[in-house]
Each structure stands twice: as structure tokens, then as C-alpha cells.
Chain A
Amino acid sequence: MANLFLLQLLNGAQFGILLFLVAAGLTLVFGIMDFINLAHGVLYMLGAYLMAMFALETGSFWLGLLLALATTLVVGLVLEWLVFRRLYDRPHLDQVLATFALMLILSEGVKILWGSAPLNVAMPELLSGSIPLAGPLRYPVYRIAIIVAGLATAAGLWWLIARTRAGMLLRAGASNRPMVAALGTDISRLFLLVFALGAMLAGFAGALVSPVLSVDPGMGDSILILTFVVIVIGGVGSVKGAFAGALLVGIVDTVGRIFGPIWLKLVMDPAAATQAGRVLAPMLVYLLMAAVLSWRPNGLFGRPS
């Protein structure tokens, strides 16, 4: 039982890190540019589809990953230049409308290009298989790779934001945009970079999970809502918050849905506990969000507005 609990903690952390990869880009764009991008989930999907295509074309997972990353970066740049640039000064409702439209257009485009049947991405030989834990429990190597990649991304982002000149401008831009512009920084170029980086992070997440998850036209929508929960819990604009929020959501969701019914059985009769557990499981992350917000209205690491 203790082994199983630890394993589920690990599963939860891994799911959280997966969420973090998607949420990091969204929170940067939302926090620094004050821009609500509903199309973020579609960029994640695009990363997975590009990965599926390039991995098949080149026959190599790693080459496919590299090409998918480069392409989502270019897609991010093009979208910023073509669409998003025009929306920064508009109210949030306009942004939501426009990015929702973009989401529909890109989803339909993906379907026209690649069809509506789910696609497969083969796992690299190096990372397939599983390692034994305690007893019959095993852990897939690829999931360890996801954890490592997620931690590396988190560290890289921290370094970028805390230790580089670009990061300093990002932080400055997030807290006082007109002042940064008045000091002679080209704010629009900064935004272009942030947006492209966000798009690439989403694409990276999509490409990375493609061997584990189904690559299908609905994959962007299914993760977008959870991603918003993560950044709201963590505090909008804070990468640190996105990391903490993602881990929290991953662990609460995973551990709660398995151990919820077991713990409920201690206080109710088994049938009722099972039923209550099933009803509560999908609500857990939202209850968590409500609890965090009532305690800290700006999220865990959000700055008061």
C-alpha cells in the first residue's frame, strides 16, 4: 500500500510536469503580454502532429523532435506577426473571440492535412520499456524522460528569466510595460520573442507526449482547460507558479481519484464511498482551485494587481 502510494505520487508528479510544459508558455503570454490565448492548446496539438509527420518522414524520433520544435517556433512567429500583434491593445473579449476562431481554423486545418483518425508516434528504442519498482509495479522509462525534460525546461526557463538580459526585460515588461518602452526597449520585438517561445514550449509539450497520448484533433481542447486551472492556481504570469500549480494539480488529480474512494471508505459505507469518489474525482482540481483562490486570490505566486 505504501509502495502504491509512492508510485501514485510519482505518477501525479509526472502528469503535473506534463501539464507544466504546456502551462509554461501560456502563463508567459498571459502574464507578460496580458493576452488570453485560447489557441495555445492548438499549438500543443500542432506540435504533436508535426512530430508525427516528421518522425515518420525522417524515421528518427530525435530528428522529428528537432524539426517539430523549429516548425512550431516559425508558426509562433508567423501567427504573432499575422494575427496576435493586432490584438494586444484590444479588450480581452476580442482576444478570446479571435483566438477561439484561430483555434477552430487550425483544428480544421489539421484535420484537412492529416485526417481525423488518431496518429501514432513511435517511441525511441532508447526510451521504451519499463523498469521494475517494488513487487509487480513497474515504471515506464519514457515517463522518467518526460520528468527529466520537464525539469530541464523549468530550469532553463528559470535561468532565462532570472539570469539573462532578455529575462530582465521580460520581468520589467510584465510589471510596467510603458516604462520599459519609454526606456528605449523595442517592446513589440520582446512580445514577438515571448510569443514564439510560448508557441515553441507548447509544441515541445505536444511533441514530447505524442508517444504516450493519442495524437488526434481533440487533444488541444482536452488539455487547455486543465492548463488554465494550473496557471490560475500558480498565479498568472509566474513560471514558478505554473510549476508549483502543475505539480499540485497533477498530484491531487492522480492521488485523489485513486485514494479518494479508499479514504472515503473509512467514514462511509463502501458503496456510497465508491459512488461519492467517482462523483468527486473530476471535481477535485476545481475544488483545489477554489480553495487556493480563497486563500490567495492572485494564485500561489501571483503578484497582487
Chain B
Amino acid sequence: MMRSTLSVFALCAAALPGLAAADPVKVGLLLTLSGPPAVLGEHARDGALLALKKLDGKLGGEAAEFLVTDAEGKPDIAAQKARRLVESDGADVVIGPIFSNIMAAIAGPVTEGGAFLLSPNAGPSVFAGEGCNPDIFVVSYQNDQPDQVMGEYASGAGYGSVVLIAPNYQAGMDHLGGFKRTYDGDITAELMTQLGQLDYSAELAQIAAYQPDAVYAFLPGGMGVNFVKQYQQAGLSGIPMMSSFTTDETTLPAMQDAALGMLSSGSWSPDLDVPGNAEFVDDFIAEYGRVPASYAAYAYDAVMLLDTAIAAAGTEDRDALREALRTVDFPSLRGKFSFGANQFPVQDFYLTEVVQRADGAYATSAKELVTADYVDAYADACTAE
């Protein structure tokens, strides 16, 4: 007993001169882990935990503790939980959320409480332009980018006419808007469906009648699974299908062959040829039994960024840590990675295609580079320094 107490003291004394060193670095993981979209949060959580395991439970050499918290998909509850994480539990950093509406709710409580917010997925435009915040780092992408990249690809691929389909709510209109911003061909029709729609046979019949050069869809979660399965069953496989947030590793296990060859875009894929990526994917599969989706990779990147920044600047001096987060060069699963002026990533975007891996699982595969060093459309409006 005596000896172990002494050795803890010795460790503290040796590791850091400051007294606060006895406290571990606390990181809140605030992700939606219940309800139908829970699988997205689970991927992010597992990616972050895998990163911490790889770092032997330490961030920047300091002992670290992850506080996994369910945002429940409800902005008001997420805001309460964010406040509790930062004010009562003493979290220095919060990694989250998955959904943009949650981001708007937790940004205030987290940053005003004196913690940094690292987003592993949500990248709403409100925080990218005038509303940019020096304490918010979006590690994933800006929300509009995947759609704009697909629009660019569709124009370049010579698709002269496209049918768009999305659920009739704000995010659906935003994503189609992103596509339309960069696509220069004809929009044959814009099919706005009900949120949570089960049966797409009527829309598929319309698509069959229009015979467009391609289809562009934003149908996340179960809607996408319904649509993609029925797309193939309706015999439309001959019409190229492009999408965002529809065919990814969270939905592919349910789509399987029906999704093969479908196109999407992203800044990461499981087979991206970057040092450490293959190892990450193999470790993730070994640990959790499924192919990681981008949510997992971005959360992993967020933890690696945090680790490298803390190693460089420690956690005592908040300004120094912020500067380190902004500028430090960390081993990203996307290869080169840097933040723009608004602390959103400047990164390469690829066209990805659904393939079957050698082990039989389904995954997205980076096919070609569409835009390099892509800066989002809002970065110029960010003046906070």
C-alpha cells in the first residue's frame, strides 16, 4: 500500500511539474447512441475508443478518460448533457455530435463552459462562415461538400439529365441544393418524398418512365436501404445511382448486392491507400466485427489530433492547446490533413463506389480523386481569429 502510494507520487512528480497532473484528461463523447440512427454514433464511439486503446489509454502521454454519453438524438437533452459533461464532470474536450441539429444545441454549452468541441461528423454551414468559433474544430467535412463533389463528378462524367430524390425536410433540400450548385446538366425531376417512407415503387416507376442518365439520392438510414433494394428489384440497375449518406458502411450490410456499383463521395474510404488506414480497418473489424464507416474514421482522427496536440502543448494553457489543435500535423487516416481559416478541414474528395471486399463484406472504395484540397464555400466569411 505504502509503496504504491509512493510510486504514484513519484510518477506524478516525474511526469509533470504542475499539480493538476493528477487529474486525467477528460474527453466527453457526446453521440447519438439510441433510436434508429444509433448505428452512426456507435461507429464514431468505437472509432474513438479504438484510437484510445491504440494510445494505451493516454492522450499526449497523459492519462485520459472517455465519458461516453448518449445525445439521444434530441437537441434539448444533448444540450443538458453537454453542460453536465463540461461543468460537472470536468471534460476538457467534447467529441461529437453526429447530427447537425445537435451541434447547434451543444456548441454553446461546450465552448462557453471552457471546453473544445471536435466534431466527428456534423459540419453545418452556420459554424463554417460568419458563425465560426475558435473553440470548434470540425474534423470531418462541411455538410455541403459531399453533394457538391457529386455534382462536379456528374457534370464531368457527362450525365446530361439527372432525377433527384430526397425526403421533404430541411436536410433533404440542403443536400439537393449542394448537388445543384455544382451540377450543370438538366434536372429532369426533383422527387421529394416523405420522411421515413417505406415504399418507393411509385418514385421508381417515375424514374423508369423518365429514363434519366443518372439518379442522385439523399436518403439516409432505413430510407436508403428501402430505396436501394427496391431500385435493384425494379430493374433500374442500368441507370447509374449517385448518392450522399445513403450507401455507406452503416447501411451496406443491409443492402449487400443491391448496392454494388453505386456511387458516392467522401474524403475517406476503408481502402484509401494511406499509411495506417489498412491497419485501422483490420483492427476495427477484429474488435467490433464490422467494417468501419467514415464516422469511425473521423472520430479516430479526432482522437489522434487531440493526442498529438496535447503532446505538443499540454492541457494547462488553453490558448496553446487551441493553437496546437489548429496547426499540429497528426497521423490522419486521410493522409494529408489541415484546417482552413474556419477550422473545417481542407482535404481531398474522392468518388467512391460500393464493392464487395475479399472477406465478403461490403464497403465503399475510393475510385478516383474528384477535387483536391477542397475548401468549403463558407470559409471566406469566417473572420474570427
Contact between chains at A212 and B233 (CB < 8 Å): yes
The stretch among A28-36, A152-160, A217-225, A238-246 that forms the contact with chain B is A217-225
Contacts of A128 in B (CB 8 A): 233
Given contacts A137-B209, A143-B201, A258-B202, contact A130 B233 (CB under 8 A): yes
CA distance A111 to B229 in the complex (A): 22
A-contacting residues, B228-277, CB 8 Å: 229-230, 233-235, 250-251, 253-256
Cβ–Cβ contact A15 & B251, under 8 A: no
Which of A12, A218, A222 meets B202, CB within 8 Å?
A12
Q: Could you say which interface size class chain B belongs to?
A: 35 or more
Residue from A15, A117, A214, A282 within 8 A of B290 (CB atoms): A117
Cβ contacts B39-66/A at 8 Å (1 or 0 each):
1001000000000000000000000000
Whole-angstrom distance between the alpha carbons of A118 and B259 in the complex? 14
Q: In the complex, which residues 87-126 of chain A have their Cβ closer than 8 Å to any Cβ of chain B?
A: 111, 115-120, 122-123
A140 partner, pick from B39, B226, B233, B255, beta carbons under 8 A: B233
Judging by beta carbons under 8 Å apart, are B209 and A136 in contact?
yes
Determine whether the beta carbon of A138 is less than 8 Å from that of B235.
yes
Residues of A close to B233: CB separation below 8 A = 123, 128, 130, 140, 142-143, 212
- The chain A residue with its CB closest to the CB of B289 is A115
Interface contact tally, CB-CB below 8 A: 124
Given contacts A140-B234, A140-B235, contact A216 B229 (CB under 8 A): no
Least CB distance, A164 to chain B, in whole angstroms: 33
Q: Check: B198 CB closer than 8 A to any chain A CB.
A: yes
Interface of A is mostly: mixed
Bound CA span A120–B208, Å: 25
Tell yes or no: B340 within 8 A of A by CB. no
Establish whether residues A213 and B229, one from each chain, have CB atoms under 8 Å apart when the complex forms: yes
Q: Are B253 and A119 in contact (CB under 8 A)?
A: yes
By a CB distance below 8 angstroms, the chain B residues around A136 are 208-209, 211
A72: which B residues are within 8 A, CB to CB?
none
The answer to whether A118 and B235 touch across the interface, beta carbons within 8 angstroms, is no
CB distance from A224 to the nearest CB of B (A): 12
Do residues B253 and A117 form an inter-chain contact, with CB atoms below 8 A?
yes
Greatest chain A CB density within 10 A among B38, B192, B233, B290 is at B233
Binary contact track A274-305/B, C-beta < 8 Å → 1, others 0:
00001001100000000000000000000000
A177 located at the interface, meaning its Cβ lies under 8 Å from any Cβ of chain B in the complex? no
The stretch that binds B, out of A3-11, A77-85, A184-192, A193-201, is A3-11
Interchain Cβ contacts under 8 Å between A and B, 15 examples: A118-B39, A118-B221, A118-B254, A119-B253, A120-B254, A128-B233, A138-B235, A140-B233, A140-B234, A143-B233, A211-B229, A212-B233, A213-B222, A214-B225, A215-B254
